[in-house]
Amino acid sequence: MYPQNHILIGILFSLMIFPIFGIIPAIVAFLSSFLIDFDHYTSYVFQNKSKRDFSLKKAFDWHVKRIWEKQKVKPFTFFHFVEILFIIFFIGIKIEIFLYVFLGFAIHIPFDIYYEIKLRKFRLEKYSLLFYLFNK
Distance CA 86, CA 63 (A): 26
pLDDT at residue 68 tops 70: no
pLDDT at residue 119 tops 80: no
Distance CA 86, CA 101 (A): 11
Distance CA 36, CA 41 (A): 10
pLDDT at residue 76 tops 90: no
More confident residue, 133 or 85: 85
The residue extents of the domains of the chain are 3-134
More confident residue, 37 or 85: 85
Residues 6+ apart with CB under 8 A from 116: 122, 123, 126
